[in-house]
Structure 1
């Protein structure tokens, strides 16, 4: 098994600039072959190290999000399906903040394109969307590239603690809005 890893590392080292370009393109194409983002970021950390793996993952994920922006604008039916899914998961009228989206991207089973739609609702202009997408992808790329190797060794208790921590972050980063009904606002004492 070690000979296979040695061979893979030797091929990557000898390929020069083609390996990072192939890795970035793989980030864009991975959604069509149903490979999770988390797995690709972990592989980036193993192959390129923490710093370059994070940079290449960020570039790939940001390009993927920009491509999703154009695809969702070109196919409004697909956008509407994702909006319906958003309403089922988060409720009607829920607008997630960029911080909440960043935290949800850390949860492996949350649909990546669904979060892109949530981000498009928050930041409809392309420039703002790409900037927010970069910021929302930063924790995902960093966390799974640097710590990805060790996540598989965590005990179930540690995983539950991490999920609870993510839930607390998600709750505290929400947009704090209070809706007052018409009757409550204009309540007349009897």
Structure 2
């Protein structure tokens, strides 16, 4: 585990009743330390147990999404960089559903703020964005907090099966749109 992460959690463990607040704050600050979300959620499960670790991770990730909402509106260069990254990963016209974003958040190497940008493109107002961010963070917080200690012991075939099942779930949660051509809609006699 990263030395910065170990040091931060040693401080939290020794801080007593303010540990949950420090953990939630660490969720917000972890992006500046380049620590993956999954590691922080796993550590929350070890520090606070599955239930409270999931709750604290969910609160921290939702507050991070709220911070993202206001920062992205105030820093257009950050938004442009993320839009270029989105175009590179998903294509120019990709519009992901909240379910797809929740599945992608479970994959550790997908950029968390990029997925928040995809949520923001779908939900421009604050309340719908906050609701979608909260819902898409639930699987992430729950999965990595509860099952985090077991993930490291998975064999490569199990990891491949999990990734494949996430890919199938991603496909099933897509927005279903059927394009009808002009000639099909208005058949000629």
TM-score (norm 2): 0.89
Q: Give, in angstroms, the shift of residue 63 of structure 1.
A: 0.3
Tell me if the contact between 1:9 and 1:47 (Cα under 8 Å) persists in the aligned partners. Answer: no
| Mapped contact 1:102–1:136 kept (Cα < 8 A) | yes
Assess, with a 3 A threshold, how the Cα gap between structure 1 residues 81 and 186 changes in structure 2: closer, same or farther: farther
CA 1:186–1:53: 2 relative to 1, 3 Å: same
- Residues 83-139 of structure 1: CA deviation (Å, up to 9, x unaligned): 121122111211100000000000000000000000001111111111110100000
CA-atom RMSD in angstroms = 2.0
Q: Tell me whether 1:99 sits opposite 2:85 in the alignment.
A: no
Q: Partner residue of 2:66?
A: 66
Which structure has the greater CA radius of gyration?
Answer: 1
**What are structure 1's unaligned runs of at least 5 residues?**
none
Residue 12 of structure 2 contacts residue 22 of structure 2 at CA under 8 Å; is this kept in 1?
A: no
Partner secondary structure for residue 82 of structure 2: helix
**Structure-2 residue corresponding to 1:85:** 85
1:153 aligns with 2:153: yes
Mapped to 1, the partners of 2:125 and 2:12 lie a distance apart of 41
1:171 equivalenced with 2:165 (yes/no):
no
Aligned pair 1:133/2:133, yes or no? yes
Total equivalences in the alignment: 182
TM-score, structure 1 length as denominator?
Answer: 0.89
